[in-house]
Amino acid sequence: MKPEIYIDADACPVKDEALKVAYRHDLVLHLVSNQWLRLEVGENIKKVVVPGDFDAADDWIVENIREGDICVTGDIPLASRALEKGATVMGHGGRLFTAENIGMALAMRELKSQLRDMGEDRGFNASFSQKDRSRFLSALEQAVQDAFRRP
């Protein structure tokens, strides 16, 4: 069975790169968001707009993703939940989340949240570069190739 790709799309900077990979391999790609996205898409590209609270898109992804599918997200708790379902999970920069590193990612997220609450961290993130896009594209292509090789 072909993997499907699930994108936590509201703040995802690599939607276009994910679309390229989905088109190349004729995969179903789900763009899940809390608001309508302006993207031209083909028949295998599913735009899913979920009403409700902040975590509604995350909940929809977790309810629908299957073992062997691919999830793209910058949301660490969603990454953890998708891993529990047996999905391959990667961040926007192409970094894979695994059972071995997700605990540390969750702990760092909590620490940064506490530092922001204390005013010690202003939450600055470096801009997303073309190199980051290229790294993501390569990592997603590799994840798809790996999924095709699984029995």
pLDDT by residue, tens only, the chain of 151 residues: 899 999 999 889 999 999 999 999 999 999 999 888 887 778 899 999 998 777 899 999 999 999 999 999 988 889 999 999 999 999 998 988 887 766 665 556 565 555 555 666 555 566 778 999 999 999 999 999 999 998 7
CB atoms closer than 10 angstroms to residue 138 = 12
pLDDT at 19: 94
Q: Nearest Cα to 82, choosing from 62, 99, 63, 96?
A: 62
- Total of domains in the chain: 1
β partners of residue 31: 7, 47
Q: Nearest Cα to 78, choosing from 4, 7, 5, 2?
A: 7
Task: Tell me how many degrees the CA angle 86-87-88 measures, rounded to the nearest 5.
Answer: 125
pLDDT at 52: 76
Specify if 12 maps to a domain: yes
Specify if 35 maps to a domain: yes
Specify if 150 maps to a domain: no
What is the distance between the alpha carbons of residues 138 and 21, in angstroms, rounded to a whole number?
Answer: 10
Specify if 105 maps to a domain: yes
Specify if 80 maps to a domain: yes
Specify if 151 maps to a domain: no
What is the distance between the alpha carbons of residues 14 and 52, in angstroms, rounded to a whole number?
Answer: 24
What is the distance between the alpha carbons of residues 72 and 82, in angstroms, rounded to a whole number?
Answer: 10
In CATH, what number is assigned to the domain containing residue 87? 3.40.50
pLDDT at 111: 54
**CA dihedral sign, ordered 62, 63, 66, 71:** negative
pLDDT at 99: 76
pLDDT at 118: 64
Specify if 32 maps to a domain: yes
What is the distance between the alpha carbons of residues 148 and 130, in angstroms, rounded to a whole number?
Answer: 27
Q: Is 109 helix (H, G, I), strand (E, B) or coil?
A: helix
pLDDT at 30: 96
Amino acid at 46: K
Specify if 117 maps to a domain: yes
Q: Is 55 helix (H, G, I), strand (E, B) or coil?
A: coil
Q: Which domain holds residue 132?
A: 5-145
β partners of residue 5: 29, 70
Its pTM stands at: 0.84
